[in-house]
Amino acid sequence: MPKGSMIIQAADKAGISIPRFCYHEKLPIAANCRMCLVDVEKSPKPAPACATPVMDGMKVATRSEKALKFQRSVMEFLLINHPLDCPICDQGGECELQDVSLGYGRSVSRFNERKRVVPDEDMGPLVATEMTRCIQCTRCVRFTADVAGTYELGGMYRGENLQIGTFDGKPLTTELSGNVVDVCPVGALTNKVFQFRARPWELTARESLGYHDAMGSNLFLHVRRGEVLRTVPRDNEAVNECWLSDRDRYSHQGLYSEDRAVKPLRKVNGEWKEVSWAEGLAAAVEILKANQGDNLGVLVHPSTSNEEGALLARLAKGLGSSNIDHRINNRDSPTLQPPKCSACRWPNRRRRPHRRSGQQHPPRTAAAARPPAQGADHQGREDPRRQSGGLRLRLQHCRQADRWCQAVPHPRRAPTPWA
């Protein structure tokens, strides 16, 4: 194992199962759920496997009587306030707490006290909340801080009164908000669009790709009886890792939109009417022949494949037109910059603190469309959304870079006249 690896990482590599809730391989270590307590030889107390580095000659017991006692005690504490909502919870069947409690929980609770009730949060139209089920693992908090980069979720109060939520109850604004559903180990955060639609064992996973940007995120389409009900990320370390943007996650609803045209339409006397494919193609040919040369402009949609775009460009050149572009929105124009980050646009965001003087870090390098302002502290980063284009997620990994390299400078020019 590499130097600095934790016990839980070594156990996963060796195929040894250690229960966990707060640990996630893509998030910073928190060690606050204590479910991964193990018995380390010559250690006076149990050690969290997710926060204890491995050392030469270390002997760790994960299934000893002492280790199992630690883990069962933590599970009992977690279930003190957790409601028995499994029959009505959307997470049922893929809930980590449900799975672990079967192996480490007691059949009968020894606590008769009234369970605490937590008010729900309004996190927007995509994420449903049932905060009474929350076990305060803080995965969602660390995701918004270290992956999404918006710092929108946080813990309030202390001890038994700890609650996870947004500042002043405002909904999530990050375009990666759906990932908090994936990282949540319980049913506190669920997919609001998929809510009460089906159970996980009723779904069939079909491999697919996200086509809304140049990243090409890998994903699974969950299908039941020929209908796509849910989209979840498919792990691919070279592309999107285990994350997925909200556009790719929720766009499957457009497949069944009433506004979607599934057959050729032609406007006759001011009204759209369905026609056959042969009639539709003949009408398109007539229009193209009547508007050859510079009168014809071609806009390639971003969701078009490279092969389709090449064929469309060849068709346009065959008709004598060189007016080909892909910018169909104002945001695609380099002359129209997005607004700066402000308290109004990002109400739940807080700025990242500067490093302490004298603190040493290994140098990192990041490439940006333009470097920071002249004389600015390179440790105070700009809003990543202003430099990431469509690949916002990938830039988050280098937001702490110590060296900035200017990439290809974009010339400022007006958008195409027909856009």
Among 151-155, 298-302, 317-321, the range scoring the smallest mean pLDDT is: 298-302
> For residues 249 and 257, what is the distance between their CA atoms, to the nearest angstrom?
16
pLDDT value of residue 143: 95
Last residue of a domain, one of 217, 233, 260: 260
pLDDT value of residue 300: 87
Structure tokens at 37: 């307590």
Left (φ > 0), alpha (ψ -120 to 50) or beta: where does 34 sit?
left
Residue 206 belongs to domain with CATH number: 2.20.25.90
Structure tokens at 233: 């990320």
In our burial notation (b when 16+ CB lie closer than 10 A, e otherwise), range 394-409 reads bbbeebebeebeeeee
pLDDT value of residue 108: 84
Q: What tens digit of pLDDT does each residue of 246-274 get?
A: 999 999 988 888 888 888 999 888 899 99
9 to each of 25, 69, 96, 145, how far by Cα in Å?
8, 22, 18, 22
Confidence of residue 159 (pLDDT cuts 50, 70, 90): confident
Among 39-43, 107-111, 183-187, the range scoring the smallest mean pLDDT is: 107-111
Q: What tens digit of pLDDT does each residue of 368-385 get?
A: 333 344 344 333 334 444
Confidence of residue 107 (pLDDT cuts 50, 70, 90): confident
Q: Quote the number of domains for the chain.
A: 2
pLDDT value of residue 294: 85
41 to each of 6, 60, 73, 74, how far by Cα in Å?
16, 6, 20, 20
Residue 371 inside a domain? The answer is: yes
pLDDT value of residue 332: 56
**Interval 191-201 mean pLDDT:** 94
Last residue of a domain, one of 227, 260, 293: 260
Confidence of residue 3 (pLDDT cuts 50, 70, 90): confident
Q: What's the residue count for the chain?
A: 419
Residue 314 inside a domain? The answer is: no
Residue 381 inside a domain? The answer is: yes
| Residue in the structure block whose two tokens are 């070594």 | 10
Residue 35 inside a domain? The answer is: no
Left (φ > 0), alpha (ψ -120 to 50) or beta: where does 333 sit?
beta
**Interval 181-199 mean pLDDT:** 95
Q: Cβ–Cβ contacts within 10 Å for residue 185, how many?
A: 25
> Are 189 and 171 a contacting pair, CB within 8 Å?
no
pLDDT value of residue 35: 94
To the nearest whole number, what is the mean pLDDT of the chain?
Answer: 81
Q: Beta strand pairing status for 163-166 and 153-156?
A: antiparallel
Confidence of residue 145 (pLDDT cuts 50, 70, 90): very high
Position 48 pLDDT exceeds 70: yes
Residue 396 inside a domain? The answer is: yes
Q: How far apart are the first and last CA of the chain?
A: 55
Domain that holds residue 378: 365-406
Last residue of a domain, one of 260, 281, 306: 260
Cα angle for residues 100, 156, 145 (degrees, 5° grid): 75
**Interval 127-139 mean pLDDT:** 94
Q: Cβ–Cβ contacts within 10 Å for residue 190, how many?
A: 21
> For residues 151 and 44, what is the distance between their CA atoms, to the nearest angstrom?
37
Burial class (CB in 10 A: 0-12, 13-18, 19+), 46: buried
pLDDT value of residue 203: 96
Residue 268 inside a domain? The answer is: no
> For residues 361 and 83, what is the distance between their CA atoms, to the nearest angstrom?
44
> For residues 386 and 383, what is the distance between their CA atoms, to the nearest angstrom?
6
Residue 226 inside a domain? The answer is: yes
Per-residue HEC secondary structure of the chain comes to CCCCCEHHHHHHHHCCCCCCCCCCCCCCCCCCCCCCEEEECCCCCCEECCCCECCCCCCEECCCHHHHHHHHHHHHHHCCCCCCCHHHCCCCCCCHHHHHHHHHCCCCCCCCCCCCCCCCCCCCCCEEECHHHCCCCCHHHHHHHHCCCCCCEEEECCHHHCEEEEHHHCCCCCCCCCHHHHHCCCCCEEECCCCCCCCHHHCEEEEEECCCCCCCCEEEEEEECCEEEEEEECCECCCCECCCCHHHHHHHHHHHCCCCCCCCEEEECCEEEECCHHHHHHHHHHHHHHCCHHHCCEECCCCCCHHHHHHHHHHHHHCCCCCEECCCCHHHCCCCCCCCCCCCCCCCCCCCCCCCCCCCCCCCEEEECCCCCCCCCCCCCCCHHHCCCCCHHHHHHHCCCCEEEECCCCCCCCCCCCC
Residue 213 inside a domain? The answer is: yes
